[in-house]
Amino acid sequence: MSTSVKLVTVLALAVAVGLATAVSPFASSSPDGLERVAHDKAFLDRSELHAVQEDAPAPGYAFPGIRDARVATGVAGFAGTLVVFALGFGMAALLRRREGPAAAR
């Protein structure tokens, strides 16, 4: 008997939520590859924030209103992972459903 898709999904989602919530606060805060190159090659100061992003709910992966930086990152990771899951699942479910009547393959 193989593991059901539902169980695989729940387990994998738990791993993702766990990583984003509990591990991401301890991730490296050094600049990533592109940021490092932009700094070293002197074009980092061209970077700008789009007007839309000034109202972003959690800029820089810091959930607002939480003073502890690690907790703010963990909560942002928790919320972001669930939002991404919901969008991905919802999009796939909509695409799947539309095919409904012709699904006799």
Partner 1 sequence: MHIPDGFLSADVAAATGVVAVAAVGYGLHRANRTLDERQVPLLGVTAAFVFAAQMLNFPVAGGTSGHFLGAALATILLGPWLACLVLAVVLVVQAFMFADGGVTALGANIFCMGVVGALGSGLMLRAGRTVLPPRRTPFIGLCGVTAWLAVVVSAAVASVLLAISGTVPLATVLPAMVGVHVFIGIGEAAITVAAVAAVLAVRPDLVAAAEHLEDEPASAPAAGEALS
Q: Where on the chain is the footprint of partner 1 (CB under 8 A)?
A: 2-3, 5-6, 8-9, 12-13, 15-17, 19-20, 23-24, 27-34, 36-38, 40-41, 43, 46-50, 52-53, 56-61, 73, 76-77, 80-93, 95-96, 98-99
Whole-number minimum distance, CB 16 to partner 1, in Å?
A: 4
By beta-carbon proximity to partner 1, the closer residue of 69 and 84 is 84
Whole-number minimum distance, CB 67 to partner 1, in Å?
A: 19
In what helix (H) or strand (E) does residue 9 lie, and over which residues does it extend? helix 5-18
Contact of 79 with 58, CB cutoff 8 Å: yes
One-letter amino acid of 35 = E
Following DSSP, what letter does each residue of 57-76 receive, concatenated? SSGGG--TT--SHHHHHHHH
